[in-house]
Amino acid sequence: IKLLNAENASDEYKGFKITLQSRETLNFKSIPQWNVLENAKKEFEQKSKLALQLVKKGGLNVDENGEEIPLPEVKVSSFIKMEKLK
């Protein structure tokens, strides 16, 4: 495949239209406050996942102080998996 023509940034190849596109992403990792909050979020998620596992086994979703730990919402999705037979 040849590189896109810089002048029009669009080309065709074997019936496909090729267009050069770009997108912008934001990275907050350089902000110390963001890192503190991100780590707190990860800790909360881990605690909540463990509480859900306990509830599934018949336990209670409370911490060592007896305070209720919020449980995550569980979403189930289905998909079709196709594998080539040997």
Q: What is the pLDDT of residues 32-82, one digit of tens each?
A: 999 999 999 999 999 999 999 999 999 999 999 999 999 999 999 999 999
* Alpha-carbon dihedral angle through residues 63, 66, 67, 73, given to the nearest 10 degrees: 50
DSSP 66: S
Residue range 4-27: mean pLDDT, rounded: 79
What are the tens digits of pLDDT across the range 25-38?
A: 999 999 999 999 99
pLDDT: which is higher, 11 or 45? 45
Classified as helix, coil or strand, 9 is coil
Cβ(62)–Cβ(50) below 8 Å: no
CB–CB of 57/81 below 8 Å?
Answer: no
pLDDT of 13 reads 82
